[in-house]
Amino acid sequence: MPAPMRPGPASRLSLVVVTFDSSAAVAAALPRLCEQLEADDELVVVDNASTDETISVVEAIAPTAMIVRHGRNAGFAAGANAGAGAASGDLLVFLNPDAVPAPGFATAIRAPMREERGWAAWMGLVTSAGGSLVNSSGGVVHFTGIAWAGEAGAPAPGSLRGPREAAFLSGACLAVTRAAWDRSGGFSEEFFMYHEDVDLSLRLRLGGGRLGVEPTACVDHDYEFVKGPAKWRQLERNRWATIVRCYPTPLLALLAPALAATEVALIAVASAEGWLPQKIAAARDTARALPRLLSERRAIQSTRVISSAEFAAWLTPELDSPFLGRPARWRPVRRALRAYWSMVLRLIG
């Protein structure tokens, strides 16, 4: 007779939600979340100095929730770190305030820990439009550091038919073991918002962590990519911060010509699309932050346990995000990027 299956470790959830003027969002999402929590689970809401009724709505819906009040809008990264610091669970789950969990979410998000898959962190399937479309089925990272949500806009569930690994995990629904979180040091608070999930994912990978997607853990996210020109400044500043901090030196050296060419191309795009001042401001931000970034780089790279080739294996030469415009998908551009990346992989591997 075969031996009975050994149950995996119990996982006590700490769900962390960072809010800022999010009263309408939490009013929709928290009831669906609270009804799924087990007796030992905890809900931590970090409020970044909301000026609306967010806190009173949270107190009415989830009276047992722990509320951490920030005196200012410190951004998502700082709020998430504060929530993790206050939490006591062995599995941290970060949810955007407008991420509405589907039935069974709280059980499904535990599955990778319960089944001992060996993942350091994972995400659920993030949908939009009432669950009919994919918002992210796992993040994609181009070798120039440009990153986007995989299969955004595709009919749900996209290509997900079971658990799989991904290049980076969406902060809209991100689960990470307490041990991996503590080793990573959490989100970089200098990012404020945007790309902090890419940076954390790449640092976890540098430390030998595997990153996965659990498709049965679904949340519906009220997502809108276009949020004004200021977003481009943060995206570009944080993209460069991630490259400087996370890319192994051999890979960075081989990518230097491509990164320079990308800057020229992005300046032309920014000029044509009206966000050139934000692109220039992002360059200034990066230059001013460079001493700090290089210091952080030394600390991060000192903990790297994988090779440059293993790191590069999760990057792509394809620019097939629907948010990058048609020039990124022109056939000559695609061929040039694939050829360059193939050369890099040969040299680095």
Asked if 197 and 238 sit in the same domain, the reply is no
> At residue 339, what are phi and psi to the nearest 5 degrees?
-65, -45
The C-alpha atoms of residue 173 and residue 67 are separated, in whole angstroms, by 19
Task: Report if residue 93 sits inside a domain.
Answer: yes
- pLDDT tens, position by position, 138-179: 999 999 999 999 999 999 998 888 999 999 999 999 999 999
More confident residue, 205 or 273: 205
Residue 153 belongs to domain spanning = 13-221
DSSP 8-class letter at 327: G
What is d(CA 38, CA 35) in angstroms, rounded to the nearest whole number?
9
Do 140 and 87 reside in the same domain of the chain?
yes
Of 186, 202, 221, the residue at which a domain comes to its end is 221
| Whether residue 142 is found in the same domain as residue 215 | yes
Residue 2 lies inside a defined structural domain of this protein: no
Distance, CA of 300 to chain centre = 18
Of 166, 187, 221, which residue constitutes the final position of a domain?
Answer: 221
> In the 8-state DSSP scheme, what is residue 274?
T
pLDDT of the residue at 6: 40
Structure tokens that stand for 97 in this block:
């305030």
Do residues 183 and 285 both lie within one domain? Answer: no
* 33-56 tens-digit pLDDT: 999 999 999 999 999 999 999 999
Residue 245 lies in a domain: yes
Q: Are residues 261 and 127 in the same domain?
A: no
Same domain, 28 and 153: yes
Whether 83 and 188 map to the same domain: the answer is yes
Residue at a domain's end among 221, 245, 276: 221
Q: What is the number of structural domains in the chain?
A: 2
- Per-residue pLDDT band for 229 (boundaries 50, 70, 90) equals confident
